[in-house]
Structures are given as structure tokens and as C-alpha cells.
């Protein structure tokens, strides 16, 4: 976002950041007790969060879920606790998976499908995929040997049986993101769901007080609020259809996405992104796929109106 602002210094403000795929209407935060800020969090606070997360994700055993300061922290941690391996990532997908495993000296390659991952020690799948939105069925995500890592950062608004969290196969790690669907990325909260030896190792590596007291309390409240999630799901579905209509009218083809973003193809995507940037609207471009643009959802009527005017 900062690079876009520097590139277009004359763009109107405030900027609209559609590059992230984060819910633009965040969960409403009530005031937190002062001791949440002034005292170290206790095991009871973490336990309350894990209970809420387990109920939300369908996890049966609290010993199999670990909290972390964001999914990114887990993506960086896992390559450090796994012996040097042949790692295969189904892609193209979120670049940090490849970067973090390669940084720790693993042999990393990208394949186009699960079939190409045969024989790997570690297989990584983002499901639904970012940015294509491709959703693999749960039955396909089971391996007879080796470690399977499934990043479910964008699965929250899909039916619960789309996730492996409630029916965890052996030798599998499921990553869940809090900030995206609840629109609170700054809270820095994520979860790993795996067999107890793996979650124990993750907790050991993260150390005490890895998740802040405010994050524990905010996460507990939000994850327990099914009424808000149901309302948000309906609103996001309506807004996504509106976004699709705008993009198609502007000459884009919708080629993928999730309830929080859409992936569009445009014959001159670079020129379209430049036009939007000059209007203070930032979207995601892809060097490997120069005709792709990823659009997150505008926050409301004013942002939709600005996007419509920029696309017209």
C-alpha cells in the first residue's frame, strides 16, 4: 500500500485498499477491561479463546489447537520444526509459503495439482486457494504418508464440512486465520490445528505469552458471536455480487475468488491497475500472471461509488 501511495502522490485520499482480501467491515469492538492491557495474559485467558475457536471450527480436542500471533507466524515457524525435506506446494498461491520453506534450506517446488505432489515429504495446499479460490474437496486432502499442511485462511464463510479442522486426518496441520473474516488483521491472531505432538511443539517454539491479552479477549468474543458472523456472511455475499457486476461491466472476466475477494482477468490489467491507482484505489497485481487482478470488497456505498467511477 505504501508503494502505491508513493507511486501516485497526487491520488485522491483516503486511499481504498482492495489488495488484501480482508473483510472491510470489521467486527465491532467493545471496550476492554484495563487489566487486559496492563497484565500478562493467563492460561485461563488462552483456554477461553481456544474453547471459542474449537467450537467455531468444529475441533473436538483442545489439545489439538494452538493459538499464535497470526497465521504468518505459523507459516514461518513450521519450516523450522520440520527436518530438511522435499516440500511441494500446490500453486500458484500465497508466496510466503515458498519463501519461508526455502529460507530454512528445504528443497521446495511448485506444482499445478495434488497429483504432482506424489513422493514429497511435505505437501502444502491453500484451500480455498489464494488467489484463484479453487476449493479442493476434503476427501482429496488425505495423504498415506508425509506431512500435509492446509492453509484455510479464506475458508470461514464456506460450509463447515469444507474444512479439515473438525475431521483432522493423521499427519496434517490446518492453519486458520482470525483477522480476515473478522476484519481485524491488526489483532494478529491465528491457529494451528494438528495432532497433539505437533501443537505441543508449536507452543514450545512460540513460548509464553505469544498471543497478547487484548488479542485473546477480542478473539474469544468474536469467535463466539455467531449472530454477527451470519449477518456478515449475508452482507459480504451481496457486496461480492455487486463487485462482480462492476468488474464485468468494465471488461473484466471473473476467473475465481472467495467470499472475501474476486480474481479478474483483463486484457490490459496493468493499465487498469494504473488507472485505479491514479484514483487512489489499490488492487493486487501478479507478475507471473500479468492479466490477473485481485479485488477485495469495498467497505460501503462511498467506496463502491468511487470504484464504479474509476472503472467507468
Grid cell locating 12: 485522491
Q: What is the CA radius of gyration of the chain?
A: 20
- Residue 227, C-beta contacts closer than 8 angstroms, at least 6 positions apart: none
Cell 498415506 -> residue: 144
> Facing residues of 177 across strands?
190
The alpha carbon torsion through 233, 191, 185, 302 (nearest 10 deg) reads: -10
DSSP string, 114-153: GGGGTT-SEEEEESS-TTT-----GGGS--SSSEEEEE-T
Candidate CATH numbers 3.90.245.10, 3.90.1150.10, 3.50.50.60, 3.40.50.720; the one for domain 2-25+227-311: 3.90.1150.10
* Domain(s) of CATH 3.40.640.10: residues in the chain: 34-224
Quick one: residue 198, left, alpha or beta (phi over 0 = left, psi -120 to 50 = alpha)? alpha
Residue 197: φ, ψ to 5°? -60, -35
Overall fold of domain 34-224? 3.40.640
> Facing residues of 109 across strands?
88
Question: Cα(163)–Cα(58) distance, rounded to whole angstroms?
Answer: 9
Grid cell locating 117: 505432489
Task: Please answer whether residues 251 and 266 qualify as being in contact, where contact means their C-beta atoms are separated by less than 8 angstroms.
Answer: yes
- The DSSP element (H or E) to which 110 belongs, if any, is strand 107-111
Buried b (16+ CB within 10 A) or exposed e, 244-273: bebbeebebebebbbbbbbbbbbeebeebb
Question: Cα(299)–Cα(286) distance, rounded to whole angstroms?
Answer: 23
Cell 485498499 -> residue: 17
Question: Cα(178)–Cα(227) distance, rounded to whole angstroms?
Answer: 17
Closest CA to 236 of 282, 280, 186, 183: 183
* Domain(s) of CATH 3.90.1150.10: residues in the chain: 2-25+227-311
What pLDDT tens digit does each residue of the chain (312 aa) get?
A: 888 899 999 999 999 999 999 999 999 999 999 999 999 999 999 999 999 999 999 999 999 999 999 999 999 999 999 999 999 999 999 999 999 999 999 999 999 999 999 999 999 999 999 999 999 999 999 887 899 999 999 999 999 999 999 999 999 999 999 999 999 999 999 999 999 999 999 999 999 999 999 999 999 999 999 999 999 999 999 999 999 999 999 999 999 999 999 999 999 999 999 999 999 999 999 998 999 999 999 999 999 999 999 999
Amino acid at each position: 500500500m505504501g508503494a502505491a501511495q508513493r507511486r501516485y502522490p497526487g491520488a485522491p485520499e483516503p486511499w481504498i485498499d482492495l489488495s488484501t482480501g480482508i473483510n472491510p467491515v470489521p467486527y465491532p469492538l467493545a471496550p476492554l477491561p484495563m487489566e487486559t492491557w496492563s497484565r500478562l495474559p493467563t492460561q485461563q485467558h488462552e483456554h477461553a479463546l481456544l474453547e471459542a475457536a474449537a467450537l467455531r471450527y468444529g475441533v473436538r480436542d483442545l489439545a489439538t489447537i494452538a493459538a499464535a500471533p497470526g497465521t504468518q507466524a505459523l507459516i514461518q515457524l513450521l519450516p523450522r520444526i520440520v527436518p530438511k525435506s522435499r516440500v511441494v506446494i500446490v500453486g500458484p498461491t500465497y508466496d510466503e509459503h515458498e519463501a519461508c520453506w526455502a529460507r530454512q534450506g528445504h528443497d521446495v517446488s511448485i506444482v499445478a495439482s495434488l497429483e504432482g505432489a506424489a513422493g514429497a515429504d511435505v505437501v502444502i495446499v491453500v484451500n480455498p486457494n489464494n488467489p484463484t479460490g479453487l476449493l479442493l474437496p476434503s476427501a482429496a486432502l488425505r495423504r498415506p504418508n508425509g506431512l500435509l499442511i492446509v492453509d484455510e485462511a479464506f475458508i470461514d464463510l464456506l460450509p463447515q464440512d469444507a474444512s479439515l479442522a473438525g475431521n483432522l486426518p493423521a499427519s496434517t496441520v490446518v492453519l486458520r486465520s482470525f483477522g480476515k473474516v473478522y476484519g481485524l488483521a491488526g489483532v494478529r491472531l491465528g491457529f494451528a490445528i494438528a495432532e497433539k505432538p505437533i501443537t505441543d511443539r508449536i507452543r514450545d517454539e512460540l513460548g509464553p505469552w505469544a498471543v497478547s491479552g487484548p488479542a485473546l479477549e477480542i478473539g474469544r468474543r468474536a469467535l463466539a458471536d455467531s449472530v454477527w458472523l451470519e449477518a456478515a456472511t449475508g452482507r459480504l455475499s451481496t457486496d461480492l455480487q455487486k463487485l462482480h457486476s462492476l468488474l464485468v461491466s468494465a471488461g473484466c472476466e471473473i476467473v475465481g475468488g472467495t467470499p472475501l475477494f474476486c480474481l479478474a482477468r483483463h486484457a490490459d490489467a496493468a493499465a487498469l491497475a494504473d488507472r485505479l491507482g491514479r484514483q487512489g484505489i489499490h488492487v493486487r497485481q501478479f507478475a507471473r500472471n500479468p492479466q490477473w487482478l485481485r479485488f477485495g470488497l469495498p467497505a460501503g456505498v462511498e467506496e463502491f461509488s468511487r470504484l464504479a467511477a474509476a472503472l467507468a
